A and B are shown apart, each in its own frame.
Chain A
Amino acid sequence: MSQDWDTGRGSMGEYDRFRVVNRSRRRVDALKLALGKGTYTDDIAHTIDGLLHLKVLWSPHAHARIVSIDTSEAERVPGVVLILHHGNVPRVPYTTAGQGHPEPSPYDAYVFPRKVRYVGDRVACVAAESELAAARAVAKIKVEYEVLEPVFDPRRALEPGAPLVHDEEEATGICGYDKSRNLVCEMKVEHGDVDDAFARADVVLEREYEVPYQAQCPLEPHCALTWFDEDRRLVVRVATQVPFHSRRILARILGLPLHRIRVIKPRIGGGFGSKQEILLEDLPALVTLRTGRPARLFYTRQEELRSARTRHPQLLRWKTGANRDGTLVAQELEVLANTGAYGAHALTVQSCTAGKTLPLYVAEAYRFLMKTVYTNLPIAGAFRGYGGPQGFFAMECHMDEVASLLGMDPAEFRSKNLIGPGSENPLAKALGEGKEGPPQRIRSCEIQQCIARGKEAIGWERRGTFPQRGPLRRGIGMAALMHGSGIPGVDMASASIKLNDDGSFNLLVGATDIGTGSDTILSQIAAEALGVPLEKIVIYSSDTDITPFDKGAYASSTTYISGMSVKKACDKVVEQLKDAAWEMWQHAGDPCERSSLRHEDEHVRRPDGKALSYAEICLSTFYEHDQHQIMDHASHMSFECPPPFAAHFAEVEVDTETGGVKLLKYVAAVDCGVPIHPENCEGQNEGGAMTMMGYALSEDFVFDGGGALLNDTFRHYKQFTSLDMPPFETILCLSYEPSGPFGAKSVSEIPTDGPGPAIANAIADALGIRFRKLPITPEDIRRAWRERTEPAASAS
């Protein structure tokens, strides 16, 4: 097959003809939710008779062997029905990472470990008639621990003699499984002659950066309900991003044939990656299997913060070689990542740290070195951005530092070195999803437009001209970004669609709307492809018994991959509609040319003006002539992964007396191809950026000396609020991606990459002080300012 590397500009003609896509329609689910009627996982709990409630006993130790568990007293608590722990649940190694098969994550987890590895690890689980009874019983379980020395520092974890987090035989998939070290995985990737390129560069700059833990904080905590249906099949209703992976992994750990399990994804209250984990549904499932009764587990916010998943903390070293004229020559990135107690997503998140960042700038040579280690701290996993925010913080701070070294304007320096349409991604092959990746060449790319329009919106020319006002200093910073659209060569999605006798369609998708708006977007794509209004699409998503397969809501894949499967299925149904219409006219003695038929406005039309409505066609095919159901299905997998591009700009005011940072304005210009639902794209952009403003300034995990999380409530884990959010401008820089549905690329993750570096760069512009560690706290700023302005004070 010949590759057509069309850059998209030639296809823009289609853009003017859109009727449903590229319009901000009412979201199909919005009114239901605003009325409080959206039924999330737990919203049917009150209707289930005989429901058992579960509470988990969590490890109070960061590292300890369980010597014995005595449940006798707990069992006597009124209402207790079952207590599960490692002594009565089979030990099956698996990974909680809800990824495709085979998962590129180590099988290092067990339903109940014999050795607890962080404060918040599972020890036991009580099922009782009420949550209170379960909680009371949990408090009465007696556990004898042999407390082991913990390791918290990822550098220390690699040293000889460090405590070993995973030293048991059954685990598999740990990189070069070597029990003498805590190494989960390791990568070394090179492109070009790196050492030679650095040797030839006029200037070389090397700096170290550090990024912290961050919690996903979906407002709906993790929750699962399980029961037996009338055929004694296990039904699992769970707040998940990955119902099909959940079913597959549950079958493995429960020892149940997959066809005996049905996973239903109801309405989801946000996931952000944390619900890409098979985090809790195994416990109620076990209870239902053992007792025959329905079971429910609902995490508290404290459990969510302590024992769900997080963003991988990393130490990054970035080295750049450049010439005096501002040309980049070589780039080197070394990452030491902390996956915490288990290795879910350890390889792939860190591989994305390089894969999303390094290719953004053209250089002769690249090197990426990565190690991910276990520690006795909370488990990292998937989090919107998936390694990108860590890498972009380092790279985009570093680019400002290199520009400064060269005496260049940071925006101009970036523009000079960015990839563009036709560029090949030199690292795509080496940085695949746990295996070799397919080659990638950029088609649609409007990053230069993003930078130009973003500069104008923020008032870039004001940079460096702000008058000082008392202790206040102002600055402006930027970051250039790219991300991906799905996992090329891996992610597959499918859809099926059927015609009803009023001309409406039932659209069944495996795609999982977790609040992203994909039910709306996929309906829009279907409506556009079929030539019907949005109201004529009845969508149902994600039920493993009913809908076809979809990889799940992750990797910025739903619009691009799932959307294309919908479009393909609809295109096939359009052909069936035309066939049926042609046949109807033929049968009526009024034949026409099949190839002359068009479809629009819910009709199949002939050039002579005659038309048959979809409803007429359906009634005929149901009841009259050539009877059959007009329906079809399609799957989509892409070897291409077109990156969306963006440029973010922040203006800050720093109070040098308190160290407080006030965001005055934020601009995020994004090229996501054709925005299927422009306002929804804005919402994704605004929410993704807001999440990471907290990452930049206020969110962090604070541990006590024993590794227990101290800020485990929303009172103390500080996300941005409506009062912190600055005036925000989204600029949609249109492009047309030829490989996407109606020209679309992804939009959900790219906004998470920008705020860390854009804000850090703005603070550096304001103060002339570079902060290389997130979050940039008021104390950090104040200390650095005092060191600068009162050298005597800092010496004391």
Chain B
Amino acid sequence: MNVELTLNGEAVSWESEPHEFLTELLRRHGLIGTKRGCESGDCGACAVLLDGEEVPSCLVLAAQAHGHEVTTIEGLGSWERPHPIQEAFVDGTAVQCGYCTPGMVIAAKAYLDRKGGGPLSEREARELLAGHVCRCTGYVKPIAAVLRAAEALGDPRSAGEEERA
């Protein structure tokens, strides 16, 4: 069967099988920023945006994603122009082993997009990360990074930056 997606803004059509999950489909095609961590939707390492909403790609069959828009961590920022959320994680020493980081960045992106501006509370930052297991950081610095990113994105200058990117 063929799975057609709008992947990071570009149309793709990939051969797949009914039992294949989206995580594996993406990884098979080199999108290795999406990680496999628990296979039950509880760790967040495999998070991607499906039609703009954060979902665990380990619980989405590739076939279920057919006809939808998928954004992965690879679609968020680049070496030349990292996304402000990625910058905030890097600057805030919120990246330790890094296995959870793409999922956390995706979660923050989804939440902040939906919220559409305005100040982010610490409680909200904790909630949006609650499905993202991290055994390294103790969440202190990721929470701070998300708050910092929200502030940066609320600043019209960096928001403009993002639009160009």
Contacts and interface: CB of A to CB of B under 8 A. Distances in A.
A721 B133 contact: yes
Contact of A219 (B33, B72, B100): B100
A289 interface: no
Contact of A34 (B32, B39, B105): B105
Contacts, number: 192
B138 interface: yes
Interface string B99-128: 111100100000000000000000001110
B38 A34 contact: no
Interface string B5-42: 00000000000000100000001111011111111101
A220 B100 CA distance: 9
A132 B126 contact: no
Given A35-B77, A515-B136, A687-B135, A723 B39 contact: no
B3 interface: no
Given A30-B98, A267-B98, A517-B96, A35 B38 contact: no
A537 to B, nearest CB: 18
B61 interface: no
Interface stretch (A38-46, A278-286, A738-746): A38-46
Contacts of A723: 126-127, 130
A218 interface: yes
B1 interface: no
A534 to B, nearest CB: 14
B19 A132 contact: yes
B78 interface: yes
Interface string A23-44: 0101101111111111110110
A515 B98 CA distance: 7
Contacts of B125: 722
Given A30-B89, A46-B27, A687 B126 contact: no
B130 A46 contact: no
Given A515-B136, A714-B133, A679 B141 contact: yes
Interface stretch (A12-20, A268-276, A348-356): A268-276
A36 B96 contact: no
Contact of B33 (A37, A220, A516): A37
Given A35-B73, A722-B130, A30 B93 contact: yes
A762 interface: no
Nearest to A300: B39
B15 to A, nearest CB: 14
A694 to B, nearest CB: 9
A688 B105 CA distance: 22
Interface string A701-738: 00000000000011100010111010010000000000
A749 interface: no
Contacts of A713: 38, 40, 42
A29 B135 contact: no
A219 B130 contact: no
Nearest to B58: A301
Interface in A535-553: none
A38 B45 CA distance: 13
Contacts of B36: 42, 221, 298
A719 B29 CA distance: 32
A653 interface: no
A687 B138 contact: yes
B142 A722 contact: yes
B33 to A, nearest CB: 2
A33 B95 contact: yes
Contact of A683 (B43, B76, B93): B93
5 nearest A-B residue pairs (beta carbon): A36-B33, A515-B97, A33-B98, A269-B99, A686-B138
30 contacts: A26-B90, A29-B98, A30-B90, A31-B79, A35-B33, A36-B101, A46-B27, A219-B97, A219-B133, A219-B136, A270-B136, A298-B36, A301-B37, A301-B38, A515-B96, A515-B99, A517-B96, A683-B96, A683-B137, A685-B138, A686-B137, A686-B141, A690-B137, A713-B38, A713-B40, A713-B42, A714-B40, A715-B42, A721-B129, A722-B132
Interface of A: 24, 26-27, 29-40, 42-43, 45-47, 132, 216-221, 267-270, 272, 298, 300-302, 514-517, 677, 679-680, 682-683, 685-691, 713-715, 719, 721-723, 725, 728
